[in-house]
């Protein structure tokens, strides 16, 4: 569970770093796409977890989103 938090924190920090390096757009857009793809991979991995572990992972990743119905 702590790993999930660290992963999300690292992705957010990466967005901030890329935004500060290049505010005009291209690098910022590529950083957003990279993070979106990484989050999608994390969501797919969480869906493969046993139900009990998955409920904790989902609460950390996105408490308001029901990923089974997405």
Kindly report, residue by residue over 43-55, the tens digit of the pLDDT. 787 777 676 666 6
Span 4-17, pLDDT tens digits: 556 677 777 776 66
d(CA 24, CA 60): 32
d(CA 51, CA 59): 12
Residue 67 token pair? 């990923």
Q: How far apart are the first and last CA of the chain?
A: 22
What is the reported pLDDT for 16? 67
Q: What average pLDDT score do residues 30-44 get?
A: 80
* % of the chain with per-residue pLDDT over 70: 34
- 67 neighbors 40 (Cβ within 8 angstroms): no
Note the pTM of the prediction, 2 decimals. Answer: 0.40
Q: What average pLDDT score do residues 41-68 get?
A: 65
Residues 34-52 as b or e (16 or more Cβ within 10 Å = b): ebeeeeeebbeebeeeeee
């Amino acid at each position: 569970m702590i790993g999930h938090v660290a992963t999300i924190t690292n992705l957010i920090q990466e967005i901030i770093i890329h935004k500060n390096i290049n505010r005009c757009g291209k690098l910022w857009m590529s950083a957003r796409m990279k993070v979106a793809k990484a989050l999608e991979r994390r969501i797919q991995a969480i869906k493969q977890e046993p139900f009990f572990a998955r409920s904790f992972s989902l609460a950390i990743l996105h408490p308001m989103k029901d990923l089974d119905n997405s």
